[in-house]
Structure 1
């Protein structure tokens, strides 16, 4: 069985993330969406809130599981017996960073883990969780960016609507 992990902070999940999840679910027998605690970021949503939003957003993808983890991704992969990491790319600037991380993960795993890059659907190439939060914080329209449950959660966090 081919199992892949799609890691991220998903703070919040966007249609760009969901596009990658959908496409990865068609490529692999099982996809684990791993919501991570990132010590370098201060999330708007708690880990539990992010997991809940993802579970509500993925719909009927039977081969997708939402889990959370803390620590190094490569340790998570080893613990779970995963050999494939899925990452999305929006632009060339993403590639430089993601390539470096992929090479580090491959080295740390002693060549046991590979990274598969999926280019984001062009209609979502402008999306990032940071952009969505910025728009929402000014009460802007985020309906083209996120599912309704995420939209509601964002406006609630900012005390809007």
Structure 2
């Protein structure tokens, strides 16, 4: 059974991420959505919250599993028996950045290949950062995330606004 990993911070998961998952999942016996735990970053949602939101979002995909990792992706892949990394790309800028990471990963783990999956056009502008920015300013993000994520974003944005008031 071929396994692949779709790594990221997913802070939070968006419908663009789910589009990439829907395209890649049928290609593998198992697709692991691996959430990077990086204490240096300041995510809106802690690791457990992100894992739960992702598990909820991918519940309808039978061969998708959610996991967390820290450190180098290549170490996680080697330890997990994974030889394919799935990366979503929205535009040429994403592709350029992803190519550099793919080359570095391949240099560190020669058996690791990267599969680039272009997002569907309707998600080409959606990013977790933009969704958080819209939510922070009271905008409607329901078109870009799952209902659970939209509720979590609204609650987090309200909490942040109350702290700054």
Task: Report TM bin, short chain.
Answer: over 0.9
1:19 aligns with 2:32: no
Residue 143 of structure 1 aligns to a residue whose secondary structure is coil
Work out the CA distance in 2 between the residues paired with 1:150 and 1:22: 18
After the TM superposition, which residues 72-111 of structure 1 pair with which residues of structure 2 at under 5 Å, given as runs?
A: 72-109=72-109, 111=110
Work out the CA distance in 2 between the residues paired with 1:101 and 1:40: 19
Partner of 1:50 in structure 2? 50
Work out the CA distance in 1 between the residues paired with 2:114 and 2:41: 23
Partner of 1:41 in structure 2? 41
Residue 158 of structure 2 aligns to a residue whose secondary structure is coil
Two-structure CA RMSD over aligned residues (Å): 1.0
Compute the displacement of 1:41 (Å).
2.4
Compute the displacement of 1:42 (Å).
1.1
Compute the displacement of 1:22 (Å).
1.2
After the TM superposition, which residues 122-161 of structure 1 pair with which residues of structure 2 at under 5 Å, given as runs?
A: 122-159=121-158
Deviation per CA, 1:116-140, whole angstroms, max 9, x where unpaired? 0000110000100000000000110
Work out the CA distance in 2 between the residues paired with 1:72 and 1:125: 27
Moved >3 Å (runs of 4+): none
Work out the CA distance in 1 between the residues paired with 2:38 and 2:7: 11
* TM-score (normalizing by structure 1): 0.96
Partner of 2:163 in structure 1? none
Work out the CA distance in 2 between the residues paired with 1:38 and 1:117: 23
